[in-house]
Amino acid sequence: MNDDKKEEEQKIVKKAEEVTIKSFKEKENLEVVITGHKFAPSDFQTVFINGHIKDDESKTFSADVEYSGEKYHISSMSHSKNLELKN
């Protein structure tokens, strides 16, 4: 992978992480810790963000963050059974 592509992917991941953290804070009033990410095939323009609730690693989640230019949004989310969400 060339440096430009790697740098672009890092920017995408950083923004996707910010969107995920902000969403949990605003919608659920929860602080989260991001533990990893994985890109979907490039034609989907989606990055999967994984993490857990701060101070409780047993409450995990995976957020599918779609991106297009400067627009990022969570298209779907899955979470462990012991993590109850308001929305």
Q: What is the pLDDT of residues 16-73, one digit of tens each?
A: 999 999 999 999 999 999 999 999 998 899 999 999 999 999 999 999 999 998 999 9
The answer for residues whose C-beta is within 8 angstroms of residue 79's C-beta and 6 or more apart is: 59, 60, 61, 62, 85
How many angstroms separate the CA atoms of 74 and 47, rounded?
A: 10
Asked, for residue 44, whether it belongs to a domain, the answer is yes
**pLDDT, position 18:** 98
For residue 2 the two structure tokens come to 């060339």
Number of domains in the chain: 1
Q: Is the dihedral of CA 70, 76, 80, 82 positive or negative?
A: positive
Asked, for residue 51, whether it belongs to a domain, the answer is yes
**pLDDT, position 86:** 84
How many angstroms separate the CA atoms of 20 and 61, rounded?
A: 10
Q: Which domain holds residue 69?
A: 3-79
Asked, for residue 86, whether it belongs to a domain, the answer is no
Please determine, for residue 1, whether its predicted confidence score (pLDDT) is greater than 80. Answer: no
**pLDDT, position 64:** 98
Please give the backbone phi and psi of residue 82, each rounded to the nearest 5 degrees, phi first. -80, 0
**pLDDT, position 20:** 98
- CATH number of the CATH domain containing 9: 3.10.450.630
Asked, for residue 87, whether it belongs to a domain, the answer is no
Asked, for residue 85, whether it belongs to a domain, the answer is no
Indicate yes or no: pTM above 0.85: yes
